Amino acid sequence: MVSRIAVGSAAIGELVADKRPEVPSRLSVPGLVPRVLLGSTAAVLLARRTHNGVITAALVGAGASVGGAIVGAAWRQAAADTGIPALPAAIGEDALSYGLAFAACVGTG
């Protein structure tokens, strides 16, 4: 129960922080390093829970974090270029990322 509360709190914190203008670009070192560390850590924790290889999980989690940062930045730029306001674009991006995370965890216990 505590881990679900912690994950939920972290998710809400990310939702709020990601919309703040003072947060560094997700493609800069200060913006990308925490994403990679958290992505690989989450993947390792999930791998341990399902008794799978943690090294592979860490690499996949790190790679997915980098890929997600690149795709997310491209989505935000494409949305801005087509006149979609920033907040709806950000909410759409968040919905997709949470949906993919949920899909990755389905069936893991």
Weakest-pLDDT range from 5-9, 25-29, 66-70, 100-104 = 5-9
- Torsions phi, psi of 52, nearest 5? -110, 170
pLDDT (0 to 100) of residue 12: 77
Query: Can you read off the two tokens belonging to residue 70?
Result: 């690149």
Instruction: Find the mean pLDDT for residues 71-99.
Output: 91
pLDDT (0 to 100) of residue 82: 96
pTM above 0.75, yes or no: yes
Query: Can you read off the two tokens belonging to residue 11?
Result: 């998710």
Following CA atoms 31, 33, 35, 38 in sequence, which dihedral angle do they give, to the nearest 10 degrees? -140
> Average pLDDT over the chain, rounded to whole?
85
Q: What's the number of domains the chain is made of?
A: 1
Query: Can you read off the two tokens belonging to residue 88?
Result: 């709806």
Query: Can you read off the two tokens belonging to residue 106?
Result: 């389905």
pLDDT (tens digit per residue) in 2-44: 566 776 777 777 777 777 778 888 899 998 999 999 889 988 9
* Residue 75 pLDDT grade (very low, low, confident, very high; cuts 50, 70, 90): very high
Beta carbons within 10 angstroms of residue 92's beta carbon? 14
pLDDT (0 to 100) of residue 1: 54
- DSSP of 41-99, one letter per residue? HHHHHHHHHHT--HHHHHHHHHHHHHHHHHHHHHHHHHHHHTT--HHHHHHHHHHHHHH
pLDDT (tens digit per residue) in 41-54: 988 988 888 888 99
Domain residue limits at 20? 2-105
